[in-house]
Amino acid sequence: MSFRIDPRLPLTGEVRRILAEEIGKALHHLDAARSRPEQALHKCRKRLKSARALLRLVRSGDETFCETENQCYRNVAALLAGPREATALIETIDRLAASFPKESADDGLGAVRDRLIAHQHELHEGSGLEAAIGAATAACEEGLHRIDRLALPDQPEQAADVLAEGARVTLRRARKALDKAGSRGAADDFHDLRKAAKTHGMHLSLLGRLWPTPIKARRKAVDELGERLGDLHDVLVMRALLEADDQPLGPPGDTKLLAKLLKRSEKQLKKSCLAEAAELFGDSPKRSTRKLARKARRSGCAAGRGRGIVGRSSSRSGRGKEGVR
């Protein structure tokens, strides 16, 4: 099955299906992480992010369920953050070496990379990783059993309002983070922009049948921005480690070149990320999501007429938010 909501089908069933698929895949990657943690942990966290993006998209339709489950999978991802970050830091060193081949030709990054590899091995071979995988697995299995508690509006008008509201909230988050990143440039601002961009990219996949703009080009641009913001995040994390009092990356003599390359990379990435984000999130969120809501409403109503169930809804009644129509 696909990571895409079919507007011709009841929203509750579609969201339950996709959520179960994503958590099921996360469990598969957790099992693989016992023997191959480097890539499997990354894939698991990606599935958890997809599940959380779905929950954010439909949050207004069942706030209690979505907030509870979102927090659950946030906690699961946090259990796996340390081992995954250890791998990401090594990847950052390798990207710096590839981006600045002349400066790093004399293996000036080698000592830091060796320390990071040793740290990665400690995390992956210790009992802590097994305990984290066990706790994450138990939480995901429990989450699977709770999926049938989700109840969303299934009537076309109400379902359309839910989807449009979720998409609009994320676009507003992205616009706000972009404004802050442009004016202050703090690490947290770019991190918030990254999270919003990643969520929006997943919403584009979920709403592939409904998004009112040329979706392939937009999805490609959002994915590229997300990758660059991810690289920037890794650079900022490493700079923070470099400036830590306990010198986890090594003494100044070993990290002099690293500090120089991190500074240059940060400057380049911030400039390109701000330019790309301005292109993507400069328009009014209301304009796009109004079109989305109209298209979702038409698709749902047409499907309802075909099934002879116009007017049926889930047990949740009530109108959607006024501004979405």
Identity at 113, one-letter amino acid code? R
> 42 and 94 in contact (C-beta within 8 Å)?
no
d(CA 92, CA 233): 10
CATH of 154-310, one of 3.90.930, 3.30.1460, 1.20.120, 3.30.420: 1.20.120
Task: Report residue 72's pLDDT band, with 50, 70 and 90 as the boundaries.
Answer: very high
- Which amino acid type is present at position 75? N
Q: How many angstroms separate the CA atoms of 117 and 309, rounded?
A: 59
The answer on pLDDT for 310 being more than 80 is: no
d(CA 300, CA 298): 6
- What does the pLDDT read at residue 246? 84
- Of 33-37, 178-182, 209-213, the one with minimum mean pLDDT is 209-213
- Rounded to an integer, what is the distance from CA 92 to the centroid of its chain? 19
pLDDT in tens, 80-116: 998 888 999 999 999 999 999 988 877 789 999 999 9
Spans of all domains in the chain: 11-152, 154-310
Largest CA distance in the chain: 74
Percent of the chain with pLDDT over 90: 71
Rounded to the nearest 10°, the torsion over CA 110, 113, 90, 40 is 120
Indicate the average pLDDT of the chain: 90
Task: Using alpha carbons, select from 72, 12, 19, 200 the residue that is nearest to residue 3.
Answer: 19
10 Å CB burial of residue 246 (0-12, 13-18, 19+) is exposed
Average pLDDT estimate for 311-317: 42
* Residue 318: per-residue pLDDT: 42
Q: Which two three-digit tokens encode residue 129?
A: 């990783």
Give the total residue count for the chain.
Answer: 325
